[in-house]
Amino acid sequence: MQRIGMGLVGPGFVAAHHVDAVRRLGFVDVVALAGSSDASARKKADAWGVPKAYGRYQDLVADRDVQVVHVTTPNFLHDPVIRAALGARKHVVSDKPLAVSSAEARGLWQAAKDAGVVHAVTFNYRGNPLVQQARDMIAKGELGPVHYVHGQYLQDWLLEPTDYSWRLEPDKGGQSSALGDIGSHWCDLAEYVVGARIQSVLSDLTTVISTRMKPESTAEALATAGTQTRREVAITSEDLASVLLRFDNGARGAFSVGQVCAGHKNGLELEVNGRRASLRWIQERQNELWIGKRHEANALLAKDPSLLAPAAARYARLPGGHQEGWADAFHNLMRDVYEWIAGGKGASGAAPFPTFEDGYRSACIIEAILKSHASGGTWTKI
Edge-to-edge strands of the sheet including 4-9? Answer: 52-54, 28-34, 4-9, 68-71, 91-94, 119-121
**Helices 326-342 and 129-139 sit at what angle, rounded to 10 degrees?**
70
Site for ligand NAD in 78-137 (CB under 6 A): 95-96, 122, 124
Q: How far is the CB of 317 from ligand NAD (least distance, A)?
A: 19
Q: How far is the CB of 356 from ligand NAD (least distance, A)?
A: 14
Closer residue to ligand NAD (CB): 247 or 255: 255
Contact 26, 63 (CB under 8 A): no
Neighbouring C-beta atoms of residue 282, cutoff 10 Å? 17
Closest residue to ligand NAD, based on beta-carbon distance = 12
Q: Choose, by CB under 6 A, the member of 72, 207, 283, 362 that binds ligand NAD.
A: 72
Closer residue to ligand NAD (CB): 168 or 202: 168
Q: How far is the CB of 8 from ligand NAD (least distance, A)?
A: 9
Give the type of residue at 286: Q
| Cα distances (angstroms) measured from residue 315 to each of 23, 133, 303, 331 | 17, 9, 10, 10
Closer residue to ligand NAD (CB): 99 or 291: 99
Q: Is residue 97 reached through a cis peptide bond, with omega within 30 degrees of 0 on the bond before it?
A: yes
Contact 232, 184 (CB under 8 A): no
Kindly give the pairing relationship between strand 146-154 and strand 252-258: parallel
User: Among candidates 297, 298, 314, which has minimal Cα distance to 306?
Assistant: 314
Q: Choose, by CB under 6 A, the member of 22, 50, 70, 74 that binds ligand NAD.
A: 74
DSSP symbol at 112: H
Closer residue to ligand NAD (CB): 12 or 183: 12
Q: How far is the CB of 6 from ligand NAD (least distance, A)?
A: 15
Closer residue to ligand NAD (CB): 36 or 200: 36
Based on its alpha-carbon atoms, the radius of gyration of the chain, rounded to whole angstroms, reads 21
Closer residue to ligand NAD (CB): 94 or 256: 94
Site for ligand NAD in 8-47 (CB under 6 A): 9-15, 34-36, 40
Chain centroid offset of residue 218 CA: 23
Instruction: Give the x-and-dash track for 177-206 against ligand NAD (CB under 6 A).
Output: ----x-------------------------
Q: How far is the CB of 97 from ligand NAD (least distance, A)?
A: 6
> H/E element holding 222?
none
Q: Where are the alpha helices (DSSP H) in the chain?
A: 15-23, 38-48, 57-62, 78-87, 102-115, 129-139, 170-173, 178, 184-194, 310-313, 326-342, 356-374
Q: How far is the CB of 73 from ligand NAD (least distance, A)?
A: 4
Q: How far is the CB of 60 from ligand NAD (least distance, A)?
A: 9
Closer residue to ligand NAD (CB): 235 or 251: 235
Contact 342, 92 (CB under 8 A): no
User: Among candidates 83, 93, 75, which has minimal Cα distance to 18?
Assistant: 93
Q: Choose, by CB under 6 A, the member of 67, 75, 286, 332 that binds ligand NAD.
A: 75
Site for ligand NAD in 204-223 (CB under 6 A): 220-222
DSSP symbol at 159: -
Contact 62, 34 (CB under 8 A): no
Q: How far is the CB of 382 from ligand NAD (least distance, A)?
A: 21
> H/E element holding 290?
strand 288-293
Give the type of residue at 120: A
Q: How far is the CB of 272 from ligand NAD (least distance, A)?
A: 22
Q: Choose, by CB under 6 A, the member of 7, 19, 73, 359 that binds ligand NAD.
A: 73
User: Among candidates 46, 47, 44, 81, which has minimal Cα distance to 66?
Assistant: 81
362 binds ligand NAD (CB under 6 A): no
Site for ligand NAD in 40-69 (CB under 6 A): 40, 57
Q: How far is the CB of 258 from ligand NAD (least distance, A)?
A: 16
- For ligand NAD, the binding residues (CB under 6 A) are 9-15, 34-36, 40, 57, 72-75, 77, 95-96, 122, 124, 181, 220-222
